[in-house]
Structure 1
Amino acid sequence: MEENMDMEASEESYPLHESIFKGDIATVSKLLRTCDVCRKDKHGNTALHLAVMLGRKECVHLLLAHGAPVKVKNMKGWSPLAEAISYGDRQTITSLLRKLKQQSREALEQRRPALIQALNELGDFYLELKWDFHSWLPLVSRILPSDVCKIHKKGCCIRMDTTLVDFNDMKWERGDITFIFNGEKKPSQSLIVMDNKQKVYQRIRYEESESEIEDEVDILMSSDIVAATMPTKYITFSRARSGWLFKEDKTEMVGRFKSDYFIIHGLALESRKRREHLSEEDLQKNKALMESLSKGRIMEHSATETTRRQSISPPSPPKVTWSEYISSSPGKVLHLGRQLVSKQSSKHFKATLAMSEEFPMTIKALLDVLEVIAPFKQFNKLREFMQTKLPPGFPVKLEIPVFPTVTAKITFQQFSWEGDIPDSKFSTPSSYKEDPYRFPDL
């Protein structure tokens, strides 16, 4: 009995978290030799979460040096970077952003050998998919783009031709663009984007420059902290029915593939925003951007300011003690950082899905391809949805929300196994010149 009590006590003990909470740097340094920096407390906070929310700069530095994860969320759904933006210390935000990018690169490199092997084992093919974007805001819907992506795959090389360069809920850029991934080259050389109109190409940078990091910090400090998720655990499917008098399960051809239609239930985009770190001027600028969007106009981004955003005054120290913090019910603890100014919304979407058991590619194979072309934002949403437990077959036609005001209809309209794709498809024409700044967002 006594042994069990000791075990329970140790499970509720968070020495590293407690030392950070109390600002005991010496103890933090000692504990980092043995403690797991990834461990979450009962509120889902890692040691890094606490260090950021409490403004313990030295602790933040020590934790990052010991590999504390930045892309991890607490029970409220916020990452240490989100809490750093709220706290408002520029140096801390910059350190976390750099470490986040470094950890993302390292994770990709760990995954890379398995990804290259999966691509090599997959047969060579040509795939065509169409994107149609639409919105429940009529004026926005009228000017939203559509795009046909043409994808060639040979060995561990992928080529994608597209007319949609960049797309988000504020702007989009059209063009004649080719993306090339060559898995045989080293990471810094493996990703290339070509502008076929200007006849230039850009290597997708493996690491950002100092000025690019600083630009991104400026944007983070002047924008809402946003957490947008598409929860998949609530999504269910039922067979779509057709007919007037005698309804039957709906089955139609999508391209040359016989497909069963389903209605998607529980499809929603949940969005949470925090703005306690923003000035009145920031709020007015951001409001003007959103009003412009709702009227169907796209505002151009203003020229980058020469002056950098400064740190804002830190929040008042929390009035909660460590004992009160750790003994409170999970997720019910008083917020430790700046007083929250938040808004939560959920937009539900009506959508259909067409599944075909005749489509010759598997979802797993497509996921490997989508992982390679992740720099294109819209493909991340497609990849996220593809990881849902879908009905039997391959999703040849589907609808997914990509932003709170925008949904995308994606149709896999053509597929064929190809045995004679020329190598020249995966190389840059000799007449193209390198322009390292053609695509600043990639």
Structure 2
Amino acid sequence: MSSPLEKQYPLHLTVYVRDIDKLRKILDEDHEVDLEAVDARGRTPLMLAVTLGYSDIAKLLLERGANADAMNKDMWYVSHEAISNGDVELTDTIIMYRDYQRAVKAAQSMKSNLEKIRDTPDFYCEMSWEFTSWIPYMGKLCPSDTYKIYKRGSDVRIDTTLVGFEGSSWKRGHQTFIFRLATVDDVVRPQFILLDHDAHTATLQTMHDDEPLEAFRPSSDATAFRRTTPVSTTYIDVDKIGFERSKGSFLTSWITNSEKTEKINGYECKVFNACNVSLITKTRSEHLTEADKEALKQEEGSRTLSGLLNFIRAENCDESTTANAADSLTVFEYLDPEFPIDGDIGRPKQVTRKSNTFKATLHLAENYPLNLQEQLIPIIDMMAANNAHFSRLQSFVQMQLPSGFPVKIEIPLFHVLSAKITFCNINEPGPHVTPLESGSDFKVHSVTIDDAVFEIPEDYRTLDDSNTLNVYDFHSDNSPRYPSAAQQEEMLLQLAIEQSLREQNASQLSPDAADNHPTDSLHNLYDPMMAQLAQGGYETDLERAIRESLAISGENHPSQRGNNEPVLGQAHSNRPHNAAVMDEDALLTQIMKESEREEQERIRRLEMESEEELKRVLELSLTDK
């Protein structure tokens, strides 16, 4: 007679005891068995097999359709567990199935989203992205951006001024993303088009959900990179987030007890504070050899950034284990949620966890011309598949938000960088937008969008990329092409520090000297890893553009440097070690002082606003009398 746990978790039980014959029999005979059932410890059968290192079991589950992109309760993906276990062959197999499944899911999801919005009202809107940071100069270096969104039927167009490169200089690009449905070989398929309006080119990718599995096998370079690099995951901890109405200033709240409202682009919005918004980064390194760890340790020890990032982050706790609990744990003890486990199953883990808590503000309008669920979330979903910033926004708006449309929303992107997203210019008439109906408030309620907006211009050269994955990509981080969130954060912080030192020295030197004599501090702060990242194509367009914008100032440009000046990043052999340590300490002190000064300035502005608000309330009370 089978136990309740065996009935509840038939696949997990056979996986744990590594009974592949019984597992195959269950899969052959029980066609309703749930391959994605999650056990009491938060694992699917495939996640359990990979965690325990059972490659034969894992491959069988993959062949039967198990989700290779599943996540456990600790926010690690199956691929993370495979890499951390150190089984190269199993890792390659997991990555191949994962990327194949992502491609299939992306094609099906895009088609579903386009069909979902087909019957919703057509519209035009803009999304303004403003980047902010409490680290001095960080926010200044991150340019704002505006996405212009056109929707007609099942077609979507998004114009953006993404920062791009041409030659050795950066510029504001003029690019368009088009999502549409098209009939290809008598089959309706989703298409993704990238228009480069400066180069007059169009890269078209028809999304297929029937690509061969082998096309997604990872390259040997990607495999080697994963073997020698820590794995990391960064996410917003949505479980602890709470929302509460924002009150007016202290004085006005004491007098009127009113809840705060603000007008954003003409719409009255309730203001909410999001509490306990935590951005968490976890890193694992148990798969690295001692030589790999030593190389990373030396690299981090030579970088000011590593110490600085640890200094500014709120927490640094350890979640490592020292033994495989499965060695002394029966299957029924593992499946029993009431049974306490000392540590965890699988290979002993070496995990570091860091987090920051952010204060976020939401402005929600009750009466807004757009519907978040029906009109915008499908578009955000499509953009999130290949855009990290939209992915953060997606995870935030999918929560149970208070009622109303989020006209303005604030989300963390990195531990030192947040974004404020504002929706504006809804149905604003323009060259491609024709108003059909306006209300008594003189706002346009319905529009028609020109068909030509969603077509490739006749004079554009079309690059048919339908059989490649270069445009709408399904690969993830932990590969040479995709820097982790921690790596991107270090690059952004490095740029902020360079700009801080540049402005400081520019104020101390004559203009000519500032242009021609980079400081020793700047040389020592330059991160060798960043040079490697740049050579390997790691930096995103945004980060590379920021770096180029700094170089344009002339300080780093070869033509502006004397013949005997060392290049940025070149070591000074005659520079004593204690001088570098003093530079680092001085830099930390400088940055924290600047942050404190900006915080004091913010408090001063709030006090002035409170006084002005109190004055208005008193004047209104006298008028009423």
TM-score range, shorter chain: 0.7 to 0.9
Deviations 1:94-124 (A, max 9, x none): 2212222333344445555653332111111
Shift of 1:344: 1.4
Local SS of the residue matching 2:240: coil
Report the CA distance between 1:51 and its aligned residue: 2.3
Q: Aligned-pair distance for 1:149?
A: 0.7
TM-superposed CA distance for 1:52, in Å, is 1.6
- Name the SS for the 1:384 alignment partner: helix
Hey, what does 1:36 align to over in structure 2?
Answer: 34
Q: 1:327 to 1:236 in 2, by over 3 A?
A: closer
The structure-2 alpha-carbon separation of the partners of 1:230 and 1:100, relative to structure 1 and needing over 3 Å to count, comes to same
Instruction: Report the 3-state secondary structure (helix = DSSP H, G, I; strand = E; otherwise coil) of the residue aligned with 1:349.
Output: strand
- Shift in CA distance, 280/15, structure 1 to aligned 2, threshold 3 Å: same
- Structure 1 window deviating more from structure 2 (262-271 vs 183-192): it is 183-192
Question: Hey, what's the Cα distance between the residues in 1 that align with 2:205 and 2:232?
Answer: 26
> Aligned equivalents of 1:383 and 1:67: distance in 2?
26
Distance in 2 (alpha carbons) for counterparts of 1:400 and 1:345: 18
Q: How many residues align?
A: 414
Asked whether 1:336 is paired with 2:345, we answer: yes
Q: In the alignment, which of 12, 16, 35 is matched to residue 17 of structure 1?
A: 12
- Residue 32 (structure 1) shift: 2.4
Residues 178-257 of structure 1: pairs in structure 2 closer than 5 A: 178-185=176-183, 190-204=191-205, 206=207, 216-243=222-249, 245-247=251-253, 248-257=258-267
- The offset of 1:381, in angstroms, is 1.6
Matches within 5 A, 1:391-430: 391-416=402-427, 419-430=447-458
CA distance, structure 1, for counterparts of residue 17 and residue 403 of structure 2: 54
SS at match of 2:449: coil
Q: Relative CO higher for 1 or 2, CA cutoff 8 Å, sep ≥ 6?
A: 1
Higher-Rg structure is 2
Distance 1:133-1:48 versus aligned 2 partners, 3 A rule: same
* Superposition deviation, residue 204 in structure 1: 4.7
State the match for 1:312 in structure 2. none
Q: In structure 1, what is the equivalent of residue 84 of structure 2? A: 86
CA contact under 8 A between 1:23 and 1:56: conserved in structure 2?
yes
The change in CA–CA distance for 1:129 and 1:41 in structure 2 (over 3 A counts) is closer
Which residue number corresponds to residue 307 of structure 1? Answer: none
Please, what TM-score do these two structures have when normalized by structure 2? Answer: 0.59
Give distance in 1, aligned partners of 2:458 and 2:297: 48
Identity %: 29
- Contact 1:222–1:282 at 8 Å: present in 2 too? no
SS in 2 for 1:399: strand
Residue 368 of structure 2, aligned match among 326, 347, 359: 359
Residue 190 and residue 285 in structure 1: after superposition, are their counterparts in 2 closer, same or farther (change >3 A)?
A: farther
> Given that residues 398 and 409 in structure 1 are in contact (C-alpha distance below 8 angstroms), is that contact kept between their aligned partners in structure 2?
yes
2:92 and 2:218 in contact (8 A); partners too: no
Q: Quote the residue 1:73 is aligned against.
A: 71
Please, which of 249, 257, 269 is the counterpart of residue 259 of structure 1? 269
Structure 2 counterpart of 1:280, from 289, 293, 312? 293
Q: Does 1:270 align with 2:271?
A: no
SS of match in other structure, 1:272: strand
Does the aligned pair in 1 maintain the 2:362–2:406 contact within 8 Å? yes
Conserved 8 A contact 2:325-2:344:
no
Aligned to 2:541: none
2:157 match: secondary structure: strand
Report the more deviating stretch, 25-34 or 388-397. Answer: 25-34
Q: Distance in 1 between matches of 2:286 and 2:296?
A: 10
Shift, 1:47, TM fit: 2.3
CA distance in 2, matches of 1:441, 1:294: 36
Asked whether 1:163 is paired with 2:161, we answer yes
Question: Following the alignment from structure 2 to structure 1, what is the Cα–Cα distance between the partners of residues 217 and 69?
Answer: 22
Q: SS where residue 156 of structure 2 aligns?
A: strand
Residue 291 (structure 1) shift: 5.2
> Unmatched 5+ residue regions in structure 2?
165-169, 310-322, 428-444, 474-625
Match of 1:153 in 2: 151
Q: What secondary structure is seen at the aligned counterpart in 1 of 2:158?
A: strand
Q: CA RMSD in A?
A: 3.5
Structure 1 residue runs of 5 or longer lacking an equivalent are 167-171, 297-314
Match of 2:46 among 45, 48, 69: 48
Q: CA deviation at 1:155?
A: 0.8
Letter in 2 for 1:410: I
Partner secondary structure for residue 419 of structure 1: strand
- Paired with 1:19 and 1:357, the residues of 2 have a C-alpha distance of 52
Query: Within 1, Cα distance between the matches of 2:324 and 2:250?
Result: 65
Contact kept, 8 Å, 1:223 with 1:282, in 2: the verdict is no
Tell me if the contact between 2:133 and 2:416 (Cα under 8 Å) persists in the aligned partners. yes
Give 3-state SS (helix, strand or coil) of 2:194's partner.
strand
Please state which structure has a larger fraction of its residues in helix. 2
Which structure: greater strand fraction? Answer: 1
Contact 1:42 1:330 (8 Å CA) reproduced? no
> In structure 2, what is the equivalent of residue 8 of structure 1?
4
